[in-house]
């Protein structure tokens, strides 16, 4: 089955740019989606189709996807961005559809 690899943690100072990667075999050929999850809360979609933002998500959140790596970029990081972030793809290569998540990255705002 398809595997997505994320770094366990990323740290960034307020006002700087955070980049969270999501690695997968030829992931550039797939569509990657990103979720933010704060402690005790349900996940929230922040990026879909590699780089589209749902309404209500700040423009500071952006995404890209090429080759074997997809990246979530958060510009001008704020304390409220501290959360776990998960990438996700839909995989139809097996005998049944499968929604695959990365292991998650904890973003710490210093």
Partner 1 sequence: EVQLVESGGGLVQPGGSLRLSCAASGFTVSSNYMSWVRQAPGKGLEWVSVIYSGGSTYYADSVKGRFTISRHNSKNTLYLQMNSLRAEDTAVYYCARVEGSGLYYFDYWGQGTLVTVSS
Which residues of this chain interact with partner 1, rule CB under 8 A? 30-31, 33, 35, 37, 41-45, 48-49, 54, 86, 88, 90, 96-104
Residue 30: count of CB within 10 angstroms of its CB: 18
Closest CB to partner 1 among 58 and 103?
A: 103
Closest CB to partner 1 among 5 and 73?
A: 5
Q: How far is CA 99 from CA 11, 24, 67, 78, in A?
A: 28, 14, 20, 30
Closest distance to partner 1 from the beta carbon of 14 (Å) = 26
Closest distance to partner 1 from the beta carbon of 39 (Å) = 11
Count CA within 13 A, CB hemisphere, residue 78. 6
Asked if 50 and 72 touch (Cβ cutoff 8 Å), the reply is no
Closest distance to partner 1 from the beta carbon of 90 (Å) = 4
Closest distance to partner 1 from the beta carbon of 102 (Å) = 7
Closest CB to partner 1 among 43 and 58?
A: 43
Closest CB to partner 1 among 17 and 86?
A: 86
79: left (phi over 0), alpha (psi -120 to 50) or beta: alpha
């Amino acid at each position: 089955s398809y595997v997505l690899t994320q770094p366990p943690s990323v740290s960034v100072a307020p006002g700087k740019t955070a980049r969270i990667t999501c690695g997968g075999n030829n992931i550039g050929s797939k569509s990657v989606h990103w979720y933010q999850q704060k402690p005790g809360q349900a996940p929230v979609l922040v990026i879909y189709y590699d780089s589209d933002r749902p309404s209500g998500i700040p423009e500071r959140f952006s995404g890209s996807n090429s080759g074997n790596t997809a990246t979530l970029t958060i510009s001008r990081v704020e304390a409220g961005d501290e959360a776990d972030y998960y990438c996700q793809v839909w995989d139809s290569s097996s005998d049944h559809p499968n929604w695959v998540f990365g292991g998650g990255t904890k973003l710490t705002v210093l």
